[in-house]
Structure 1
Amino acid sequence: MLKFEMERGGQTFKIVSCRECRFVFVADPEADTANHIDIDKIDWAFRPRHFQIRRLLLAHLTAGQQVLEIGCGRGEVGYLLRPDPIQYVAYEPARGLSDFGIRAGIPIVQHTFNGEQTADAIVIDNVLEHVAEPARMLETAAASLNPGGLLIVITPNLDDIRAISPTWRKRNLWVPPDHINYFSARDIESMFERVGLKARRFKFSPLSLKDWKFFPRAAAETLGLSIFGHNVYATK
């Protein structure tokens, strides 16, 4: 069902929703939405979430266990994990981004992850909104987790409270062809349930005092509300 059409970058995109499940996505997206940027035009782009992901991983894993990241971009999480006693490998098909990480010594495989290996923790950070079959990617990740493994997923939120601002919406939400899927809290929970996992919000668990800006998000999540991005994890 067509929700609306929008113009962006000289292209017209149809934003549609499924009549049965109400999932919102771009109709007929481009086959390749990876950002093949010039390696010499980028630098590291560390965000608070990268540090929060590291804290969750270190709280769950023991020395020698394996972390696998699907769609790592430059590899910021892998860079932060360098001094830690765990093993890290990532998959990233976008050249330029992956070239940058490899040049810095991050172990990145330059193609899409298709379940080639298992891991004790899998990270999917701001990736599901870019891919044609997000449910299949999550299914592959869940199947690749070792028993007791940790799955971390971060995506934008269709119902983000900040979307009340037209400027924020234009810059961060409706941004095809980069983002082609738009997840509600119900969508995230349903995808996890289909692979036999229960999605849990980050809440305060990965936050430090330096993350005080994220305390409102954590407080809302503690109350069962998802008012900003979806930051969730599950154990197998």
Structure 2
Amino acid sequence: MPSPRSPRSHCPICKGTRFDPKLGLTRSGESFEIVTCSDCGFIFVVDPEADTANHIDIEKIGWAFRPRHHQIRRLLLSHLAAGSRIIEIGCGRGEVGYLMRNDPVEYIGYEPARGLSDFGIRAGVPITQTTFEGNQRADALVIDNVLEHVAHPAEMLEIAAGALNPGGILIVITPNVNDIRALSPSWRKRHLWVPPDHINFFSAADIAAMFARAGMSPRRFKFAPLSLQDFKFYVRALAETAGLSIFGHNVYAVKGH
């Protein structure tokens, strides 16, 4: 039986109502229409599934630590004082929280998807099983590979920015629609055009527009959170240092006082 859909009548970034067809495709027996906003150029799935959360069976998953989780931790610890509060929106299993369990900070994850959140809670990660509505303030907000999944990404970023204390840091990681690896058809099929999982496809200009709407200016990670063990990410850091966004978007912003 086809999954319920929640068509979008407005661009998730600029609220424009005029779209141009870009790509129609079928995945797992379901058809999706990807469009381009005629006003701002943002690319998104116009007819996503109503529920985009990944409700996976807890018994079928394990930890999924990635280098970016360690990079996020390093970046946070370089900016935060002891006792600072960190909120992660859409934390999944809570890998970042688990890595920071012995650090002198308070971590709180928000994850509405059962299974993923159940797994993290079982491992001792403090996770609230709801969406984050800006009801808590924090010294750091993390949105790691979440914006590409949600119906209202710009609003999510605004809520996160509004919950930051002055001087706080907002970290965002999300795929890049202009990733150089998308030159490979197999990479595009596996990592880029993948609804119903990914329903938003961000360019560097889209990321800048969302941060500007939230009153913040994003900076690229560059070499800031990398260790010697992260040598395979040096190419990304060099490109970012040169002002090029040719891999995933790895950005952060600090809230003014």
Q: TM-score, normalised by structure 1?
A: 0.99
Q: 2:181, 2:253 → 1: CA distance?
A: 26
Residue 109 of structure 1 aligns with which residue? 128
Q: CA deviation at 1:4?
A: 1.4
| Deviation for aligned residue 1:219 | 0.0
Q: Indicate whether 1:94 and 2:94 are aligned.
A: no
Out of 135, 140, 145, the position equivalent to 2:164 is 145
The residue matched to 1:157 in structure 2 has which SS? coil
Unpaired segments ≥5 residues, structure 2? 1-19
> Which whole-Å CA distance do the structure 2 matches of 1:31 and 1:145 have between them?
29
2:200 counterpart residue number: 181
Q: Secondary structure at the match of 1:116?
A: coil
Q: In the alignment, residue 193 of structure 2 is paired with which amino acid?
A: W
Counterpart for residue 51 of structure 1? 70
Select 1:78's aligned residue among 87, 90, 97. 97
Whole-Å Cα distance in 1 between the matches of residues 179 and 202 of structure 2?
10
Task: Give the Å deviation of 1:174.
Answer: 0.5
Q: Give the equivalent residue in structure 2 for 1:66.
A: 85
Query: What is the distance in 2 between the residues matched to 1:136 and 1:205?
Result: 27
Which residue identity lines up with residue 23 of structure 1 in the other structure? F
Paired residue type of 2:72: I
1:4 corresponds in structure 2 to 23
* Paired residue secondary structure (2:217): coil
Alignment correspondent of 1:216: 235
Matching of residue 118 in structure 1 with residue 176 in structure 2: no
SS in 2 for 1:120: strand
CA RMSD of superposed structures (Å): 0.5
| SS of residue paired to 1:219 | helix
Unaligned runs of 5+ in 1: none
Partner Cα distance (1:195, 1:41) in 2: 38
Counterpart code for 1:51: H
After TM superposition, give the deviation of residue 30 of structure 1 in Å.
1.0
Residue correspondence of structure 1 range 29-40 to structure 2 within 5 A: 29-40=48-59
Post-superposition shift, 1:28? 1.7
SS of 2:72's equivalent in the other structure is: helix
- Tell me the distance in 2 between the aligned counterparts of 1:49 and 1:31: 29
Deviating beyond 4 angstroms after TM superposition, the runs of 4 or more aligned structure 1 residues are: none
Residue 56 of structure 1: CA displacement?
Answer: 0.4
Identity %: 72
Match of 2:121, as an amino acid? Answer: I
Deviation at residue 37 of structure 1 after TM alignment: 0.4
Aligned-partner SS, 1:77: helix
1:167 aligns with 2:177: no
State the distance in 2 between where 1:178 and 1:111 align: 19
Partner of 1:26: 45
Partner AA of 1:134 in structure 2: P
Query: Aligned partners of 1:26 and 1:219: how far apart in 2?
Result: 32
Alpha-carbon separation, structure 1, partners of 2:252 and 2:30: 35
TM-score, structure 2 length as denominator? 0.91
